[in-house]
Amino acid sequence: MELILIFFSAAIVNNFVLAYFLGICPFIGVSGKITSAFSMGMATTFVMTITAIVTWLIYHLLLVPFQLEFLQYVSFILVIASLVQFVEMFVKKVSQPLYRALGIFLPLITTNCAILGLALFMVLKDYSFIQGVVYGVGAGAGFTLAITVMAGIREELDLADVPKPFKGVPITLIVAGLLALAFMGFSGLISI
């Protein structure tokens, strides 16, 4: 039951994009079409899950035993950068159309602060290995949910009669704020 609560807490209640405001760059930049947004969400979920696994292992099996906890930022950033390069090579080899659709935003996963936030929050919350993996999957699912919902709304806004001063970025930021307010309604449901 605790693992289910961790998953839903990371995905909905404490959504990295809408509650912590981490990962806003790809959230705004890639949420123009549902297909590219969902693909970006899946790539980010994959990187978050692998990051949770690798950073937990590095922190608990290398940094803590040798009292090198002060190196966690550097080691986590190196892990994330390496993982994103792996994902980029994999996507390029497996799906050229997806690689072209994601464009510059695929390497930007490296600088997605939601992924670094995941690694740091996992250490702060002192999760076990399994809890950390579930937290990573939940955070990625929440990111995918947020970016896909935003893409769906933005596709509908392209057909809507939006006043000229609000077209483009202004209405996108207003919608992002409204989504964040909507997700705030879940706060207090789970306290993990």
| pLDDT tens, residue by residue, 131-189 | 999 999 999 999 999 999 999 999 999 899 999 999 989 999 999 999 999 999 888 87
Is residue 129 one of the residues assigned to a domain? yes
Q: What is the mean pLDDT of residues 123-131?
A: 97
Residues 110 and 26: beta-carbon distance below 8 Å: no
Q: What is the mean pLDDT of residues 71-85?
A: 92
Is residue 43 one of the residues assigned to a domain? yes
Nearby residues of 42 by Cβ (< 8 Å), 6 or more positions away: 144
The overall pTM is greater than 0.85: yes
Is residue 120 one of the residues assigned to a domain? yes
Helix (H, G, I), strand (E, B) or coil at 190: coil
Helix (H, G, I), strand (E, B) or coil at 169: helix
Is residue 113 one of the residues assigned to a domain? yes
Is residue 59 one of the residues assigned to a domain? yes
Neighbours of 175 (CB within 10 A): 17
The amino acid occupying position 98 is L
| 88 vs 15, higher pLDDT | 15
Residue 119's nearest CA partner among 42, 43, 47, 55 is: 55
Domains: count for the chain: 1
How confident is the model at residue 88, as a pLDDT? 84
Whether the predicted pLDDT of 9 surpasses 80:
yes
Q: What is the mean pLDDT of residues 2-6?
A: 95
Q: Can you say how many angstroms the Cα of residue 86 is from the centroid of all Cα atoms in its chain?
A: 17
Is residue 20 one of the residues assigned to a domain? yes
Confidence grade of residue 191 (pLDDT, cut at 50, 70, 90): low
Is residue 148 one of the residues assigned to a domain? yes
pLDDT above 90 as % of the chain: 68
Where in the sequence is the domain holding 96, given as residue range(s)? 2-183
Whether the predicted pLDDT of 110 surpasses 80:
no
How confident is the model at residue 131, as a pLDDT? 97
Whether the predicted pLDDT of 102 surpasses 80:
no
